[in-house]
Amino acid sequence: MEHIKNDILDYLKDNSFMDTNIGLNDNDSLTQNGIMDSIGLLELMDYICEKYDIEVPEDMLTPENFDSLQGITNLIVKLVK
Amino acid sequence: MSRIVCKKCVLDSDMPGIDINEESGLCHFCETYVPLSAKEKSDYLVKMEELFKEYGGRGKYDVVFALSGGKDSSYTLHKLKKEYPFLKVLAVQFDNGFISDNAVENAKKICELTGSDYFKLTMENEVLYETFRKAAESRDAFPRLAKYRASDICNTCISIIKQKLIEEAIVQDAPFIMFAFTPGQSPNPIISLQANFIRWSRNIFEKQLLNIGVEDKGEKFLIKNEVIENMGKEGPRMLHPLCLWDYNEGQILEALVEIGWNPPDLNDSNSTNCTLNSFACQNHLEKYGIHPYAFDIAGIVRSGDMSREEGLEKLHQELSQPLIEEAAKKLNYR
């Protein structure tokens, strides 16, 4: 699970221009902390689908699943199985 | 360190957040860029056509189309109706208080030519001016990555358009919403919208409005909650066909002029329809040191649809002072 989390964090650092000095906790909100907006979320979903060869059903695109490192990691683990 | 411009696109090391690899001479985005292949583009177009067949022809409109009257949206609507004449289109032009008369004439003309219905979405100018002034005065209301896509003013304006177009499509029961995004502006050519995500993106924009000091209690800018509550689970699909077609600015302008579209008299290299754009660009450059069109232009250059020289020229063209002063006056911005 840790490598998935690190992979998502690397993606965010490379693509969201997030401040690398801010400490982002696993359950911190990506949207409320100014890291992602709705377009960014769709781009991140595309990246995840391609990288992990999964399809994220659109009804799973919710804050619970997609607004934190932990939520996204859990979702990928669930869908990869 | 002296300023280094990416060898492939137009981004440079002076832009905050942009690093150029000294060995390759490329920015991070060019290093990791994987373009849509011709096959992928053609597959997307096939999928789009299948969606037209499956969901089209059921209601009054098939498509709610965002028509600014500028070159990209005018061209996209014209080409769309040429290739898919059976689509019933409601073209919505948002009057943000700064659209030029020329853009209104062009939008109406394209609708007439394509047999599309025209609808001008208007709001009180004073409310819009106050909102854009607050956006100009704000700092960090939008996430960092949004600042690279557009200015704070344009992010506010385009979010209002998206919210109200989604609302219109749900109310009209139209299965498709279309924007003329270029390859540099759009994350995906086909996006299915479900109630969950529509609600979430509404809440994100509501928070961004609050960040700039605007409380939209009357849901003038936001999708009405009542509309989301009453929609089914599945919402409309957002389609971006322009990013699947060849994009050449010169050819697009030529094709448009041929059908009677009047080139604008605006002295703005990045907008053919909005008189607020130059002010928005200057405001963004002053606040963040980021040109809000740099990423868009870089994306078009990276995809090979514009030469690097042309892109650099466009990016470094001086902004129009008369347009900036006119907009500042309207906004009462000091």
In 10 A of CB B19, how many CB atoms?
Answer: 13
A4-43 burial, b if ≥16 CB within 10 A, otherwise e? bbebbbebbeebbbbeeeeebeeeeebbebbbbbbbbbbb
pLDDT of residue B267: 65
Measuring CA to CA, how many Å separate B233 from each of B60, B178, B223?
A: 21, 20, 16
Residues of chain B under the 50 pLDDT cut: none
A27 in B contact zone (CB under 8 Å): no
3-state secondary structure of B239: strand
Q: Are A17 and B145 within 8 A, CB to CB?
A: yes
CATH number, domain B38-331, options 3.40.50.10790, 3.40.50.620, 3.40.50.170, 3.60.150.10: 3.40.50.620
Nearest-angstrom CA–CA distance, B275 and B266: 7
Instruction: Look up the domain containing A51 and give its range.
Output: 2-80
pLDDT of residue B288: 94
Nearest CB to B204; choose among A38, A46, A58: A38
Task: Give the residue extent of every domain in chain B.
Answer: 1-34, 38-331
Q: Which of residues 226-285 of B touch A (CB under 8 A)?
A: 233
Give tens-digit pLDDT for A39-78: 888 888 888 988 999 988 878 888 999 999 999 999 999 9
pLDDT of residue A38: 85
Determine whether A54 is exposed, middle or buried from the number of CB atoms within 10 Å of its CB (0-12, 13-18, 19+): middle
pLDDT of residue B165: 97
pLDDT of residue B265: 75
Chain B residue with the nearest C-alpha to that of A13: B17
pLDDT of residue B252: 93
Exposure on the CB side of residue B29, measured as CA atoms within 13 A: 26
Q: Phi/psi of residue A60, each to 5°?
A: -95, 0
pLDDT of residue A29: 92
Q: Above 0.90 for ipTM, yes or no? A: no
- The structural domain count of chain A equals 1
Cβ pairs A/B, distance under 8 A: 67
Taking the CA of residue A12 and the nearest CA in chain B, the distance in Å comes to 10
Taking the CA of residue A15 and the nearest CA in chain B, the distance in Å comes to 8
pLDDT of residue B1: 64
Query: What residues contact residue B306 under an 8 Å CB cut-off, 6+ apart?
Result: B247, B248, B249, B297, B300, B314
pLDDT of residue B187: 64
Give tens-digit pLDDT for B159-209: 999 999 999 999 999 999 999 988 767 668 998 888 989 999 999 999 999
3-state secondary structure of B36: coil
Give tens-digit pLDDT for A14-43: 888 777 777 789 999 998 888 888 888 888
Higher-scoring residue by pLDDT: B51, A1 = B51
B35 in A contact zone (CB under 8 Å): no
Length of chain A: 81
